[in-house]
Amino acid sequence: MRTEEKAYAKINLSIDIVGKLDDGYHAMRMVMQSVSLCDDVAVTVSPGEGVVVRTNLRYLPGDARNIAARAAAVFYEAAGISGYRTEIDIKKRIPVGAGLGGGSTDGAATLRALSRLFGTGMTARELETLAEKVGSDVPFCVRGGTALAEGRGEVLTPLTPLPECFIVLCKPAFSVSTPELFSRVKWEKIQLRPDTDGIVRALEEGSLTGVARRMYNVFEDVLQRERDDVEAIRGALCDHRALGAVMTGTGSAVFGLFDDEDAAKAACRALRGTYPECFLVRPVRQIDI
């Protein structure tokens, strides 16, 4: 049996850290959005045992360290299914270490694929609950779309979809260590925070400008050597008439929202001269499960 899934990247229209949870994780509050940049995930199951992950990037692990393999293990345990060999083939397009959820969305796609192959009838909420065991961003990536994410990222509230627009994503040549960036944050001392409630209202009003003007990421405050590239990309996006630009996740990618396709294309062309990993994408709505 074989099936294929699109694994869509995510961006963060806002990220705030509002406390610490009992398990030691940071309590997050963020607006997340799926975009059309995607990996292709093909899952094949046959009688046998073991999980193998293959990608077009040699440096990515193909064993249990890969989030797609972890997702498969979580699925089989929850579904009570055994006796199958699972091959997961991933064509990576989403940059690694960019804050775009590339690993998380592959894990979510694996859960969707296996549920479909075995006809489990699992609901979206049931898959999201499984996804909590795989990684913090995986629950959102199960359905994607536009959502408010709280807790570790697993408490999801669907939001009014982002208005149609053009999004330029740009990743500098370095990646940022997520644990390192979290270690730099003193959440109780954060002074500048995103207007997340304002973003939710702007979405309800269908105001792209209202969303763009309120975007903020508290992790930008603790950037060190990475700051120059992030600010240079944001400046270039705004110079090309982005309505707003901000770093996504813990970085290092930066994105800008545009209401004009020609302006977005011009920004992409200008940035690619310095930053080859630059993409023009569109918002993606929630996946039906």
Burial class of residue 182 (count of CB atoms within 10 Å of its CB; 0-12, 13-18, 19+): middle
Closest CA to 277 of 177, 176, 173, 178: 173
State residue 175 phi and psi, 5-degree precision: -115, 165
* 20 is an active site residue: no
Q: What share of the chain is helix, strand, coil (3-state, %, to 5)?
A: 35, 30, 35
Beta strands, E only, the chain: 2-20, 26-47, 51-55, 84-91, 146-151, 155-158, 166-171, 216-217, 244-247, 254-258, 277-281, 283-284
Beta strands, E only, 166-281: 166-171, 216-217, 244-247, 254-258, 277-281
Radius of gyration of the chain (CA): 19
* 137 is an active site residue: yes
Q: In sequence order, what are the residues at sequence separation of 6 or more whose Cβ sits closer than 8 angstroms to the Cβ of residue 189?
A: none
Choosing from 10, 16, 171, 229, which is the catalytic residue?
A: 10
Closest CA to 56 of 73, 35, 39: 39
CB 250 within 8 A of CB 181: yes
Choosing from 16, 39, 106, 137, which is the catalytic residue?
A: 137
Angle at 154 between CA 252 and CA 71, to 5 degrees: 80
CB 138 within 8 A of CB 127: no
- Residues labelled catalytic: 10, 137
